[in-house]
Amino acid sequence: MTSKPMTEQAESLPESSRLEEMVQDIISQARAAGADEVEAGVSIDAGLSVTVRLGETETLEFNRDRVLGLTVYFDQRKGTATTADFEPDGIAATVKAACDIARYTSQDPCAGLADPERLATVIPDLDLYHPWDLQAEQAIELATECEDAARGVDERIENSEGATIASYVGMRVKGNSNGFLGGYRSSYHSISCSVIGRQDEQMQRDYWSYAARDRADLQAPADVGRMAGERTIQRLGAQRLSTRQAPVIVAAEIAGSLFGNFINAISGSNLYRKSSFLLDHLGKPVFPEFMHIHEQPLLKKALGSAPYDSEGVVTAARDIVQDGILQGYVLNSYAARKLGMQTTGNAGGVRNLTVDPGDKDLAGLLKTMGTGLLVTEFIGFGVNIVTGDYSRGAAGFWVENGEIQYPVDEITVAGNLNDMFMGIVEVGNDIDLRGNTRSGSVLIEQMTIAGS
């Protein structure tokens, strides 16, 4: 079984100058068709993904995707079209489609490109591109090693959902008629594994994964597998809890979802629609005084880094919460105009959201909590951003005297995000760097735990 190694895939990415010429030509065509403002972007991605299950190769995929996206404005009427056809006729048809759409849409006084003075003029090298010379045979071996390590943790692991090795490289270029033109290459590599354990009649599943820009920064496949196996075994023998009020620790690996709710509540689309429980909270306390939450979009090699946002606006480090007080919203140009404000360079979301830690690891947080619940998995999406009401299925461990006593599942944790945020007692220094949110475990003073 053979496939292109990743070096060949990387070499197959076009030079940025070629894509820049394509973007400029598309902008010129749309302007010639009468568009007042034009934005165009081209992206090309290539990758290899292998999944091994129960020692057999289950899937082997080689991906090569490309897309051209175009947005035009005719007197603040917007039209958008996309295509995977990069031939001249395909591009011309896409330009025509976007222009035709714009002529029939309603005028919106807030529509249009980002203001020229906000656009990136220098594209820094953020060290995001590290192609992996990965062939299919090697990927299969690594995935097998990962799954074997997971299955070898304990004889109670009797089944597997598989181990996956994936590696991708990409090139993207964006430009607009306000003078912005920029592009960069990036890479993304990941290892994941999920296995199933049985104890008597009870079955439990858990997983572990790791991702990085540079394969040298990945955890070893065997370490990922062992972590998946150990987490699964730890969940066997899970019990239900009776309904109660108790402190809760949200484990670092899922804390990103908690702060994702916060970002959702201060995002422009929810604010101008007046559908957020944090409406009109700018300059007001939303977390305890010790909390510092900030964005670091220019970190070298980080998974969330980008030199500009999806409108071409320059990205920069900034405080979102300082001393517990909300310093700024998360806005793109459209939302900013609706609110009478300036874009914060967050078209496409926040990048490397960072929650500053305290000085305790997870074991230290458990001792601080004493008795309560450690949540390691959330289930479902019971979050109301309008009211802040929060109710999600959960699994984890019951803790007494600062020590884990037994696993629990089939419970629900509930509260209100306002109270939960203000009730944060401490953030651990066990920071999870595997995604776009960098946070340690979070100790919340009290939540409702609904069980039997």
Over residues 29-60, the pLDDT tens digits come to: 999 999 999 999 999 999 999 999 999 999 99
> For residue 106, how many C-alpha atoms fall within 13 Å in the half-sphere facing its CB?
3
Which residues face 398 on adjacent strands? 373, 406
Confidence tier at 15 by pLDDT (50, 70, 90): confident
Domains of the chain: 6-235 (3.30.2290.10), 238-452 (no CATH)
Arithmetic mean of pLDDT, 147-170: 98
Residue 117, classified by CB atoms within 10 Å of its CB into exposed (0-12), middle (13-18) or buried (19+), is exposed
10 has a pLDDT exceeding 70:
no
pLDDT > 90: what percent of the chain? Answer: 95
Instruction: Please name the residue that has the structure tokens 């959201």.
Output: 353
Q: What is the pLDDT of residues 207-244, one digit of tens each?
A: 999 999 999 999 999 999 999 999 999 999 999 999 99
pLDDT digits (tens, 9 = 90+) for 313-329: 999 999 999 999 999 99
Report the C-alpha gap between 21 and 445 in whole angstroms: 56
d(CA 104, CA 93): 17
Task: Give strand ranges (E) for 101-177.
Answer: 157-176
Q: What is the pLDDT of residue 381?
A: 86
Amino acid type, 51: T
Q: Which of 192, 341, 374, 190 is nearest to 272 (CA)?
A: 341
- Tell me the HSE value of 148 on the side-chain side, using a 13 A CA sphere: 12
pLDDT in tens, 387-437: 999 999 999 999 999 999 999 999 999 999 999 999 999 999 999 999 999
The pLDDT of residue 5 is above 70: no
pTM for the complete prediction?
0.94
Q: What is the distance, to the nearest Å, from the Cα of residue 184 to the centroid of all Cα atoms in its chain?
A: 19
Residue 1 pLDDT: 36
Q: What's at 339, amino acid-wise?
A: L
> Which amino acid, residue 357?
P
CA distance 38 to 72: 5
* Confidence category of residue 131, pLDDT binned at 50, 70, 90: very high
Tens of pLDDT, residue by residue over 60-107, are 999 999 999 999 999 999 999 999 999 999 999 999 999 999 999 999
3-state secondary structure (DSSP) of residue 445:
strand
